[in-house]
Structure 1
Amino acid sequence: MTHPAPDFLPGLELSRLLYEEAVRPLLDEVHPGLRYAAARVGTGSEVLGFDTPRSADHEWGPRLQLFLTPEDAARHTTDLHELLRERLPKEVRGWPTHFRPATADGPIGHMTPTEGPVEHRVDILETDRWLTGQLGPGATAEEPTAADWLAMPQQRLAEVTGGAVLHDGPGALTAARHRLAWYPDQVWRYLLACQWQRVAQEEAFVGRCAEVGDELGSAVTAARLVRDLMRLTFLLERRYAPYGKWLGSAFARLPGTDALASSLRAALAATTYPDRERHLGDAYVHLATRQNTTGLTDPVEPALRPYHDRPYQVLHAERFTRALTATLTDPALRALPLTGSIDQRTDNTDLLTQPGAPTF
């Protein structure tokens, strides 16, 4: 006999309940004085606040991470895991705390009831080792270098700085999240310059493709530009952009984007080049105006204009690139080509979402 699923609770709320009602009392009883952080960060739709009842079909449920100092991790990881395995409650608000182990046939964990020990999802970790595994060695530096920042995918930065910290005795996790909350000013300027450069590279292609009868190519190029404009918006609003699955959902939560979103949707839906050009143009002007409000550069004229001697209406986005690069004072950034961060160089999902520093 199957039982109906319990009422849905956001995963972060389940994590809080697991900690407050089960994990914290056990730690207070068995390991009083242990200094740790309790959090729900890292991978998982709930960390970014996008989980729904559908999420319960894999690697979702009462989950938590306990972060320890290196010394305490070496001393207590095994016994803490066994303590929780033997004494955690079997469920939280009707949701099992036991997860069916992943196998070759089913490589994802799934909640399932148990009468025996709980194969839980309370991960016991060492803070700096976890940060390094997520973002590379620069994540633990007091001041990551420009190269460190450019190698950190925004999806992983969002996972490290998102979610919830429920307790932090040592303070190291909270300090790292604060340090990684957003790019340093010079890196931010460089990334904005590179994102405008991406727009400049292709804004005329929408018209040129249409001119030679390639409506499909024109539409595909427009779609690429829509994504680049969305990612530019995240940079302007100082928010990390998630990977493709949640890009639109996160974009909808950005402040003041209703009119911009309408233009972007219309550009994607357009079936003729003139409509495509008009709606993209509206989006260009919107974001050019927004760029000017940041005060990072002297104002740049946001109006559209022909592409040199050709009739396509474009922004000539490289004007914003030049204005931003003129404000770079960091020699390391000034020496770089305008190819940007790892997110601006590749959209490979495996590379941008799997833990561990990217290597080449």
Structure 2
Amino acid sequence: MTSFEPGLALARSFYAEAVAPLVRAPHAACLLGEGSEVLGYDDERSTDHEWGPRVQLLVPPERTGEVRRAVEAGLPREYGGRPTAWYSLATGTVSHHVEITTFDAWIAEQLGFDPRAGLDHADWLALPQQRLLHVTRGEVFRDDPGDLTRVRAMLEWYPDDVWRWLLAAQWHLIGNTEPLLGRTLETGDRRGARLLAAKLCRLAMETAFLQERRYRPYDKWFGTAFAELEAAATLGPLLDAEDFTSALLELAHRQNALGLAAPVVPAAGDFRVGINDAVRPYRVVNAGEIAASAVAAISDPALRSLVAVGGIDQLTHADDAMVTFTPWPRELAAVYRSLLASA
């Protein structure tokens, strides 16, 4: 039995030893896009489908036919003890997985548009983080034209104003959720309390990703990626114990340390309803103040005036069906763009 080798390492040597000698055209070579191995999370279990020696080649449009013929003629049947042709879900056939395409076609498939023309705030807000991971994670083995390297650098993280707005939206969501947990506990709704506790846990973890400038993967790898964050050592035990107040206070201190906005002294106290001076005995943090500080620091007046409902990942489930098989991300970009234009 062939011993397991992480897919990214397999792709690196597969390109260098089996594919690169066949390609005479200037090109970029990489392993990006979908797949657990792109994130570095694959293991032996991952090899049961859509896994094996593979690489993407991005070549000039006039050279694709030449490169395709050379690869098909020269690719070995096996590499590293594994077949180079295996079942492809996309084509429904057994074929090799040296993807040969142009940069223009590849980036349009990954993002739905070409970011080299520039990204406005609407583009950023409508880009699912999983798509951003498709482009910014993995590894580039070669990049003769340089386009891939430049685009990866462009997409490394959100512009500061967009970052502030997403953080504001995250704290708004926290502030809306936290008192509901207290109310369900008070009424004895244990099932509702469990749902809200899980939601608060997720919101806190998402906040840590935002604060550490890390795009978060979809649910299968969400917890795995969270464990890699610097904040996880402190936040993890608090969230496991459902000590949400301490966890959110820790996140509030970390927010101040970013220097993105005027600092807000983290505080916890009874929930003030905001109507008729009503106060309820549910311990909450001052999430609204933190959100307001982030909004106030936004330099673009249009974005600053936009209600902080969040980007696509905060508004929707943004799963594979939406991200890959629908026009919703680009449709949502048009909605953001319209709102910003009318602000």
Is the TM-score greater than 0.5? yes
Superposed displacement of residue 338, structure 1 = 1.0
3-state SS of the aligned residue for 1:187? helix
- Residue of structure 1 in register with 2:340 after alignment: none
3-state SS of the aligned residue for 2:198? helix
Contact 2:168 2:292 in 1 (8 A): yes
- Residue of structure 2 in register with 1:326 after alignment: 296
Q: Does 1:140 align with 2:116?
A: yes
* Gap change, CA 1:133 and 1:101, over 3 Å in 2: closer
Rounded to whole Å, the distance in 1 between the matches of 2:230 and 2:90 is 43
Rounded to whole Å, the distance in 2 between the matches of 1:166 and 1:350 is 27
- Residue of structure 2 in register with 1:40 after alignment: 31
Same amino acid, percent of matched pairs:
44
Map 1:1-360 to 2 at 5 A.
4=1, 6-27=2-23, 31=24, 34-68=25-59, 72-73=60-61, 75-102=62-89, 119-137=95-113, 139-141=115-117, 143-267=118-242, 279-308=243-272, 309-351=279-321, 353-354=323-324, 358-360=329-331
* Gap change, CA 1:144 and 1:101, over 3 Å in 2: closer
Rounded to whole Å, the distance in 2 between the matches of 1:290 and 1:231 is 13
* Gap change, CA 1:352 and 1:48, over 3 Å in 2: farther
Farther-moved stretch of structure 1 (87-96 vs 176-185): 87-96
* Gap change, CA 1:298 and 1:214, over 3 Å in 2: same
Contact 2:50 2:89 in 1 (8 A): no
Residue identity opposite 1:349 in structure 2: D
* Gap change, CA 1:51 and 1:296, over 3 Å in 2: same
Superposed displacement of residue 356, structure 1 = 7.0
Residue identity opposite 2:189 in structure 1: D
3-state SS of the aligned residue for 1:354? helix
Residue identity opposite 2:98 in structure 1: V
* Gap change, CA 1:156 and 1:355, over 3 Å in 2: farther
Contact 1:264 1:283 in 2 (8 A): yes
Farther-moved stretch of structure 1 (343-352 vs 233-242): 343-352
Aligned length: 324
3-state SS of the aligned residue for 1:310? strand
Residue identity opposite 2:38 in structure 1: V
Unaligned segments of structure 1, at least 5 residues: 111-118, 268-278
Contact 2:104 2:114 in 1 (8 A): no
Residue identity opposite 1:10 in structure 2: P
Rounded to whole Å, the distance in 1 between the matches of 2:114 and 2:268 is 41
Rounded to whole Å, the distance in 2 between the matches of 1:221 and 1:187 is 27
* Gap change, CA 1:98 and 1:86, over 3 Å in 2: same
* Gap change, CA 1:228 and 1:340, over 3 Å in 2: same
Residue identity opposite 2:18 in structure 1: A
3-state SS of the aligned residue for 2:55? strand
Contact 2:36 2:46 in 1 (8 A): yes
Contact 1:146 1:332 in 2 (8 A): no
Superposed displacement of residue 102, structure 1 = 4.1
Superposed displacement of residue 359, structure 1 = 4.3
Unaligned segments of structure 2, at least 5 residues: 273-278, 332-343
- Residue of structure 2 in register with 1:114 after alignment: none
3-state SS of the aligned residue for 2:150? helix
Rounded to whole Å, the distance in 2 between the matches of 1:179 and 1:158 is 13
Rounded to whole Å, the distance in 1 between the matches of 2:124 and 2:90 is 36
Superposed displacement of residue 170, structure 1 = 0.2
Contact 1:17 1:92 in 2 (8 A): no
* Gap change, CA 1:213 and 1:256, over 3 Å in 2: closer
Rounded to whole Å, the distance in 2 between the matches of 1:128 and 1:332 is 31
3-state SS of the aligned residue for 2:226? helix
Superposed displacement of residue 101, structure 1 = 4.5
Superposed displacement of residue 133, structure 1 = 2.0
Contact 2:58 2:101 in 1 (8 A): yes
Rounded to whole Å, the distance in 2 between the matches of 1:337 and 1:356 is 25
Contact 1:22 1:88 in 2 (8 A): yes
Superposed displacement of residue 18, structure 1 = 1.0
Write the deviation string for residues 129-176 of structure 1: whole angstroms up to 9, x where unpaired: 2212221325232x3100000111001101100000000000000000
Rounded to whole Å, the distance in 2 between the matches of 1:335 and 1:284 is 26
* Gap change, CA 1:180 and 1:348, over 3 Å in 2: closer
Rounded to whole Å, the distance in 1 between the matches of 2:218 and 2:90 is 27
TM-score normalised by L of structure 2: 0.90
